[in-house]
Amino acid sequence: MKLAFVFPGQGSHSVGMMNALAAEFPIVRQTFNEASQALGYDLWQVVEQGPEEKLNQTEVTQPAMLTADIATWRVWLASKGPLPQVMAGHSLGEYSALVCAEALDFSDAVKLVADRARFMQEAVPIGQGGIAAILGLDDDAVRKLCEQAAQGDVLDAVNFNSPNQVVIAGAAAAVARAVEQSKAAGAKRAVVLPMSVPAHSRLMHPAALRMAERIKAVNVRSPRVPVIHNVHLRAESDPEAIRNALVRQIESPVRWVELIQKMAADGVDRMIECGPGKVLAGLNKRIVKTFETLPVYDPVTLRETLAALASAT
């Protein structure tokens, strides 16, 4: 069995998302305590109690999701679960994968993604950018919709999440026009997402420049497990190449469909989504139907996944 671990990013967060796992495994709270010390505020309180508006602020969402992913991974290790042969993460989740592969220290990564979020938000102030999911159109049709709705503003196809599900991002007015025009273009639905930045669009270029300077100071090592990067679908062993991939990722599309197809072509036959929710499990099922993605986000799914892997060996 060739096992892959994938880590979710923004969009999988919710208030109370780690409560069930934390009730059974003290290492969850310990992990959030480490993050809180690095950040200088009580991250667990926001994740446990909200309010939702605060958790949805990208400067909070990004370190919260990273910490939730790492806490779930530590629970998996404590439960003696089998280790993966390859990893990847969706957007922000790529940082989680690199921490779990021991390429980044957790405390460094928490501060790094908090700065990443701040750079992204400062590049496009709240209210000026937008992001939405377009359902039921193929990739080229979404790109054409973006061209038509842009009207001189920036509007890009930014997340290729599954066949017929593409996320667009850019100027708020352009996103609104695309959502309005989507039905006429043949889309089944268009859903505005609760994110405060137009991630992975060209509007993120100033954030990428700042990130390039910031990441120079971070100790990056060769991963112990290969991590496939969103931006070019390769695993990197050179620390400078990893830094470059993380910088480019900010203003480049997330090529999730191709990434999952590559894993399947490389022989992965079982995948675990390590972190809150089961968004990636749903996407992956629509990309490659021949293998299953098992989510691990609470004690029930943990036990179910451990049992499923034990019976498969």
Catalytic residues, by residue number, are 91, 200
CA distance 133 to 236: 30
Is residue 167 within 8 Å of residue 161, measured between CB atoms? yes
CA distance 29 to 181: 45
Note the maximum CA span of the chain.
Answer: 56
CA distance 247 to 231: 10
Residues with Cβ within 8 Å of 1's Cβ and at least 6 positions away in sequence, in order, are 269, 270, 309, 312, 313
Count other Cβ atoms within 10 Å, centred on residue 105.
16
Parallel, antiparallel or unpaired: strands 155-162 and 165-171? antiparallel
CA distance 306 to 111: 32
- Ramachandran assignment for 233, one of left (phi > 0), alpha (psi -120 to 50 degrees), beta (any other): left
Residue 44's Cβ-count burial label (10 Å; 0-12, 13-18, 19+) is: buried
Is residue 117 within 8 Å of residue 35, measured between CB atoms? no
Angle at 198 between CA 124 and CA 244, to 5 degrees: 90
Is residue 155 within 8 Å of residue 146, measured between CB atoms? yes
Q: Is the dihedral of CA 89, 92, 96, 98 positive or negative?
A: positive
